[in-house]
Amino acid sequence: MEIRLVGVVGAGQMGNGIAHVFALAGYDVLMTDISEESLQKALATIEKNLDRQVARGKVLPADKRAAMERIRTTLKLADLGQCDLIIEAATERETVKQAIFEDLIPHLKPTTILTSNTSSISITRLASRTDRPERFMGFHFMNPVPVMQLVELIRGIATDQETWETLHEVVRKLGKTASSSEDFPGFIVNRILMPMINEAVYTLYEGVGNVKSIDESMKLGANHPMGPLELADFIGLDTCLSIMNVLHEGLADTKYRPCPLLTKYVEAGWLGRKTQRGFYDYRGEVPVPTR
């Protein structure tokens, strides 16, 4: 199946990044969100990120202009009905995602492929609430989308081979690399990454080290480009907690129990970079550890 028009549901950090890479790869993109302000902010972010790529010599000015012209926005979810492929990139809450798919279904072409950018929620379960489980997949991009090379492709139990092959080809056209994951909690990346971050929070919680020493130890001792607590702030502590809860509930193993300190930070609204405070305080010129 040929994919030409791509719908993106959600204009946040992931949604605008997905719209960016698809438009740059030559796809027409229709992006939707619940507020016009969010859509305009997303367009401004995409243009800024494209300008950065132009400045670095990775994108030609003409290609940047063409990419921006390929992106349209709408406040009406129903307008995505004629898309060949739809990527849901809304908040990481299953009830929200289910409601989006239920609202979309009456407006879709029979051939439309539905996907979710979820980082941990069961693809089989999401697909079962639609009228096309065989044309439903997990399409998990890494953050920041324009930079990260990996895309996880997750087949639900009912996903057919044609759908998988179509999306595998889409990833190739985006210039990225696909990894194929079975539909189990956390898939591949977060099944490995999040318990490491959670263990770093436990290391802080138990007083083994402070924020600075934990991050420096992993950067200098394990050659990680970013410390685990710094990375947690970048991802969003609410997202980290949500994924740990999915792992804990889905696999029923105490080794996935979220650290109480992670829960406390989320309850305080200290979610990382997006709220200016997390394991670091970002309100000054230089991030300062909060512990």
Determine whether 2 is an active site residue: no
Catalytic residue among 16, 38, 119, 198: 119
Catalytic residue among 152, 198, 230, 242: 152
Determine whether 190 is an active site residue: yes
289: region left, alpha or beta (phi > 0 left; psi from -120 to 50 alpha): beta
Both tokens of 27, joined, read 């796809």
Determine whether 107 is an active site residue: no
Catalytic residue among 16, 49, 117, 190: 190
> H/E/C letters for each residue in the chain?
CCCCEEEEECCCHHHHHHHHHHHHCCCEEEEECCCHHHHHHHHHHHHHHHHHHHHCCCCCHHHHHHHHHHEEEECCHHHHHHCCEEEECCCCCHHHHHHHHHHHHHHCCCCCEEEECCCCCCHHHHHHCCCCHHHEEEEEECCCCCCCCEEEEEECCCCCHHHHHHHHHHHHHCCCEEEEECCCCCCCHHHHHHHHHHHHHHHHHCCCCCHHHHHHHHHHHCCCCCCHHHHHHHHCHHHHHHHHHHHHHHHCCHHHCCCHHHHHHHHCCCCEHHHCECCEECCCCCCEECC
Determine whether 117 is an active site residue: no
Catalytic residue among 116, 140, 181, 242: 140
Catalytic residues: 119, 140, 152, 190
